[in-house]
């Protein structure tokens, strides 16, 4: 019996589990291979939904489906939290019930978590749209906001969905226009490095659009502290901005499990960027946000990586030399307002090129969001 254990039931883990039982159909049916997906919640969350919650276009319930509805029945679904990994003994330790699970192949798809308390005052003074509670609180704050200074500060890099802060800013601009209060609102967007986005072509696309829409920008702005009483955000570089409504992209971190198991110093698993094999352990892969690869923490990356990892593990199970590799492929939609969008596609060798935004791409994004559940099942 070959045991394949996947930790994490987000996009990457779910697609991978479904792909593996499909690719190894005969071996799974014969009882020669067991695929176990361990997740600490019975729910699967499609996080991009949260972008639309503050503007009343989606609810937090829209982001959630039972994981059991998305994974193939042949996948052994274990709702439990992994609290330890022993890569020498090839076991994982579970929080409740069964003490350990042994594996022949382990895949870590543990995602990224928010750590807003790394910036003093940010929890009390800032809003975000990276989780259900934050998105709903921001929805209420935006509904009550009649005017003043909205600051969108990208505090954490890397963060999930690198397009999201750009999208939120452009959507907020148009949303205020639709409400007839844009003249009462000043918008400032801050970014930690010398341009508006990590990807230079995206920054080049943003610059004229932000200028046209009277969105102020501050670059080289690394938030150091927030003073909620004074309504001020201060940067490491000595700048400070007064705000009436602060929306922040909080700092992110990998799962504590990663650093604790020696697989990656900063909580991201050190992997070969093409094979996705862990650098510090045998028979361990990492993918999705958890993998320290030089591309975006985006759902599309996790999906493409899942295809590669499924191919490689299926080859290994069959005693073949794995040849599938990840080329860094990333695809991201970028909302440019409330009814137009563009998209970027790039990989390790090819930088992104952005087209002008259009309504059809916006509708394509909304259509994709609806069909995402088929993607998670491995059908698209």
Partner 1 sequence: MSEQLTADVTIDARGAGCPGPLMDLIGKVKTADSGTVFELQTSDRGSVSDVPEWVEKAGHELVETVEHEDYWSIYVQKA
Residues in contact with partner 1 by CB under 8 A are 157-158, 192-194, 198, 200, 220, 222, 224, 236-238, 273, 294
Of 82 and 119, the one with the shorter C-beta distance to partner 1 is 119
Of 13 and 116, the one with the shorter C-beta distance to partner 1 is 116
Smallest distance from partner 1 to CB 258, Å:
16
Smallest distance from partner 1 to CB 107, Å:
22
Smallest distance from partner 1 to CB 279, Å:
11
Q: Are 125 and 226 in contact (CB under 8 A)?
A: yes
Smallest distance from partner 1 to CB 287, Å:
18
Of 69 and 345, the one with the shorter C-beta distance to partner 1 is 345
Of 79 and 115, the one with the shorter C-beta distance to partner 1 is 115
The size of the chain, in residues, is 380
Of 35 and 344, the one with the shorter C-beta distance to partner 1 is 344
Of 175 and 205, the one with the shorter C-beta distance to partner 1 is 205
Show Cβ contacts of residue 88 under 8 Å, excluding neighbours closer than 6 positions.
Answer: none
Token pair, residue 35, equals 């695929």
Smallest distance from partner 1 to CB 198, Å:
5
Which value, to the nearest 10 degrees, does the dihedral of the CA atoms of residues 182, 55, 209, 232 take? 70
Of 183 and 265, the one with the shorter C-beta distance to partner 1 is 265
Smallest distance from partner 1 to CB 246, Å:
19
How buried is residue 167: exposed, middle or buried, by Cβ count under 10 Å (0-12/13-18/19+)? buried
How buried is residue 322: exposed, middle or buried, by Cβ count under 10 Å (0-12/13-18/19+)? middle
Of 294 and 319, the one with the shorter C-beta distance to partner 1 is 294
Cα–Cα nearest to 86, from 101, 72, 73: 101
Token pair, residue 102, equals 């042994």
Smallest distance from partner 1 to CB 222, Å:
6
d(CA 203, CA 160): 17
How buried is residue 149: exposed, middle or buried, by Cβ count under 10 Å (0-12/13-18/19+)? middle
Of 221 and 285, the one with the shorter C-beta distance to partner 1 is 221
Smallest distance from partner 1 to CB 14, Å:
28
b/e code 189-223 from CB counts within 10 Å (16+ = b):
bbbbeebbbbbeebbebbeebbeebebebbeebbb
Smallest distance from partner 1 to CB 138, Å:
25
Q: End-to-end alpha-carbon separation of the chain, Å? A: 30
d(CA 308, CA 180): 48
Q: Are 258 and 290 in contact (CB under 8 A)?
A: yes
d(CA 210, CA 275): 39
């Amino acid at each position: 019996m070959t045991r394949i254990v996947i930790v994490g039931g987000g996009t990457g883990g779910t697609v991978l589990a479904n792909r593996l039982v499909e690719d190894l159909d005969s071996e799974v049916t014969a009882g020669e291979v067991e695929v176990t997906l361990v997740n600490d919640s019975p729910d699967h969350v499609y996080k991009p939904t949260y972008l639309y919650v503050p503007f009343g276009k989606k609810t937090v319930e829209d982001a959630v489906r039972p994981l059991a509805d998305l994974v193939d029945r042949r996948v052994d679904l274990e709702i439990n939290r992994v609290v330890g990994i022993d890569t020498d003994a090839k076991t994982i330790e579970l929080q409740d019930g069964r003490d350990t699970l042994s594996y022949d192949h382990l895949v870590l798809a543990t995602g990224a978590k928010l750590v807003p308390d790394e910036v003093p005052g940010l929890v009390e003074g800032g809003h975000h749209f990276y989780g259900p509670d934050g998105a709903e609180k921001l929805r209420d704050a935006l509904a009550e906001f009649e005017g003043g200074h909205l600051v969108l500060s990208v505090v954490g890099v890397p963060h999930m969905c690198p397009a999201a802060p750009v999208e939120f800013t452009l959507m907020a601009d148009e949303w205020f226009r639709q409400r007839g209060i844009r003249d009462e609102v000043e918008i400032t967007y801050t970014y930690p490095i010398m341009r508006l986005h990590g990807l230079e072509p995206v920054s080049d696309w943003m610059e004229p659009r932000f200028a046209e829409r009277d969105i102020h920008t501050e670059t080289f702005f690394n938030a150091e502290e927030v003073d909620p009483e004074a309504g001020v955000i201060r940067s490491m570089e000595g700048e400070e901005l007064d705000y009436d409504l602060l929306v922040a992209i909080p700092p992110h971190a990998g799962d504590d499990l990663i650093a604790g198991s020696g697989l990656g110093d900063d909580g991201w698993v050190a992997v070969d960027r093409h094979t996705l094999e862990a650098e510090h352990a045998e028979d361990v892969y990492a993918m999705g946000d958890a993998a320290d690869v030089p591309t975006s923490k985006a759902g599309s990356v996790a999906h493409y990586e899942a295809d590669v990892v499924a191919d490689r593990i299926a080859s290994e199970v069959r005693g073949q030399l794995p040849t599938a590799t990840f080329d860094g492929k990333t695809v991201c939609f970028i909302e440019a307002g409330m009814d137009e969008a563009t998209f970027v596609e790039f990989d390790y060798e090819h930088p992104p090129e952005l087209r002008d935004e259009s309504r059809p791409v916006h509708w394509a994004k909304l259509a994709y969001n609806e069909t995402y559940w088929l993607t998670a099942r491995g059908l698209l």
